[in-house]
């Protein structure tokens, strides 16, 4: 195997390996990779920063959302309370007005009843007078004698 012919392959290859590797390490890799590493680190940092920023923004948005929901719930409760209050107030005022109206109506009914009673009494009085008159007339015609008005009245009162 030529590989083990060290008299011929050892020093030339080792010397040129040293030259090549030195060239590679100091002339190529050392000049290029640090630049690349810097960019890669910058990218990693940027991505990490962006993710942190996005997380912060999300947390902020979540907080705003929670506040919004809380506000909404509070407003809803307030509205519900206001509606209940308004309902209660309305019910109360309706009741009061109904009570006033009922009182008025009762008063009117009472007045009307009084008037009716009065009318009835008056009508009864008139009727009785008319009846007494008729009875007196009838008695006068039958007997030719005018009865006393009081007697006719008394007779009608006794009958009705």
Residues making contact with another protein (CB under 8 A): 1-4, 6, 8-21, 23-25, 27-40, 42-43, 46
Angle at 18 between CA 13 and CA 20, to 5 degrees: 90
Handedness of CA 101, 104, 108, 114 (dihedral sign): positive
In the complex, minimum distance from the CB of residue 71 to another protein, in angstroms, rounded to a whole number: 41
Question: How many angstroms separate the CA atoms of 109 and 115, rounded?
Answer: 10
Question: Which structure tokens are listed for 140?
Answer: 């006068």
**Residue nearer to another protein on the CB measure, 49 or 125:** 49
Angle of helix 149-159 relative to helix 30-143, nearest 10 degrees, comes to 130
In the complex, minimum distance from the CB of residue 55 to another protein, in angstroms, rounded to a whole number: 21
Question: Which structure tokens are listed for 66?
Answer: 């929670």
**Residue nearer to another protein on the CB measure, 29 or 61:** 29
**Residue nearer to another protein on the CB measure, 1 or 158:** 1
In the complex, minimum distance from the CB of residue 33 to another protein, in angstroms, rounded to a whole number: 5
**Residue nearer to another protein on the CB measure, 51 or 83:** 51
In the complex, minimum distance from the CB of residue 70 to another protein, in angstroms, rounded to a whole number: 41
**Residue nearer to another protein on the CB measure, 9 or 66:** 9
Handedness of CA 25, 29, 31, 34 (dihedral sign): negative
In the complex, minimum distance from the CB of residue 22 to another protein, in angstroms, rounded to a whole number: 10
Residues 6 or more apart whose Cβ sits within 8 Å of residue 129: 153
Residue with tokens 């009182």: 103
């Amino acid at each position: 195997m030529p590989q083990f012919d060290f008299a011929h392959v050892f020093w030339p290859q080792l010397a040129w390996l040293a030259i090549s590797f030195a060239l590679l390490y100091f002339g190529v890799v050392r000049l290029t990779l640090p630049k690349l590493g810097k960019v890669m680190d910058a990218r990693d940092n940027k991505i990490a920063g962006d993710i942190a920023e996005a997380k912060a923004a999300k947390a902020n948005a979540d907080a705003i959302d929670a506040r919004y929901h809380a506000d909404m719930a509070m407003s809803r409760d307030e509205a519900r309370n206001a509606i209940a209050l308004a309902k209660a107030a309305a019910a109360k005022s309706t009741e009061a007005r109904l009570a006033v109206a009922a009182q008025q109506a009762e008063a009117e009914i009472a007045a009307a009843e009084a008037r009716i009673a009065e009318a009835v009494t008056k009508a009864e009085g008139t009727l009785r007078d008319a009846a007494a008159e008729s009875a007196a007339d009838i008695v006068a015609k039958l007997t030719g004698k005018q009865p006393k008005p009081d007697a006719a009245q008394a007779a009608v009162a006794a009958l009705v």
